[in-house]
Amino acid sequence: MFSIENNIWFDIALLSALFAIGNILMGHFEEGTPNWRKVLKLFVATTILVVLWTFLGRWAVWSFFGLLFLVVLYIHLIWLPKHGIHGWTGEPKDKYYELRGWNKK
């Protein structure tokens, strides 16, 4: 019988859904990032998830999700504003592009 508590596929599906939703809603902030890096990021995150789940268990996977959430909060609430960029809108765009090392459009 299928049990969410002991099934790695639920966690992989959740991670994939978060990536998909993130790319749909926030992809315009990554327009200067090459596609291969976006795909690599998904594969690296999935590999980390599988390794954590295999060797440490589900608590480690959910801790990993929590850690990623804290990193995102830090970047958007502290690091970006410290560099003069609005953490939600990415404005001013020229500063954001400069910070990311992209050419202005």
Which range marks the domain in which residue 94 is found? Answer: 4-100
The DSSP output letter for 92 is S
d(CA 71, CA 57): 22
36 within a domain of the structure (yes/no): yes
The HSE-up count of residue 72 (CA atoms within 13 Å, CB side) is: 10
Task: Report if residue 105 sits inside a domain.
Answer: no
Task: Dump pLDDT digits (tens) for 1-13.
Answer: 556 667 899 999 9
**Residue 77: inside a domain, yes or no?**
yes
Task: Give the pLDDT of residue 7.
Answer: 84
pLDDT of residue 4: 63
pLDDT in the model for residue 26: 86
Model confidence pLDDT, tens digit, residues 52-81: 999 999 999 999 999 989 999 999 999 999
Instruction: Note whether 104 and 94 are within 8 A (CB).
Output: yes
Structure tokens at 57: 């268990």
Express each pLDDT in 23-45 by its tens digit.
Answer: 898 888 888 899 999 999 999 99
Residue 66 lies in a domain: yes
pLDDT at residue 105, as a whole number: 57
The structural domain count of the chain equals 1
- Whether 18 is in a domain gets the answer yes
